[in-house]
Amino acid sequence: MSFFEPQRPENPDYEQLQRIVKDFDRARKEGRTVPEIVGSVVDLYSAQYLAEQRAQLVCAQLGIHSRMAPYLAATFLNAFTIGVIFERERSREREWERARDRDR
């Protein structure tokens, strides 16, 4: 398996991430804007600032024209949001499992 020819993972993390991405896409199709979606998960301006900084860094490191930075920033913003949702869901699952184990 290479970076450019990935095989579909058979892992619960993949399934959870795929569902989150589909939920994100569904919200967009239902008319929610990216700022609304991101802002419901994390402070929009903090995430946007960090995404823009990372995009500029990647452009500089890879020698990519800075006109690409907004596209990279959008990708980072999307990934940050998905990551936060993933981690929050994972934390809830762990809390549920601990509670279940205590009740046994």
User: Angle 69-102/44-62 helices, nearest 10 degrees?
Assistant: 120
Instruction: Identify the CA nearest to 47 among candidates 86, 70, 81.
Output: 81
Residues of the chain with pLDDT under 70: 1-5
Q: What is the model's pLDDT at position 67?
A: 94
Full-model pTM? 0.79
Q: How many alpha carbons lie under 13 Å from residue 80 in its C-beta half-sphere?
A: 26
Q: What is the model's pLDDT at position 90?
A: 92
Q: What is the model's pLDDT at position 2?
A: 62
Under DSSP, is residue 71 helix (H, G, I), strand (E, B) or coil?
Answer: helix
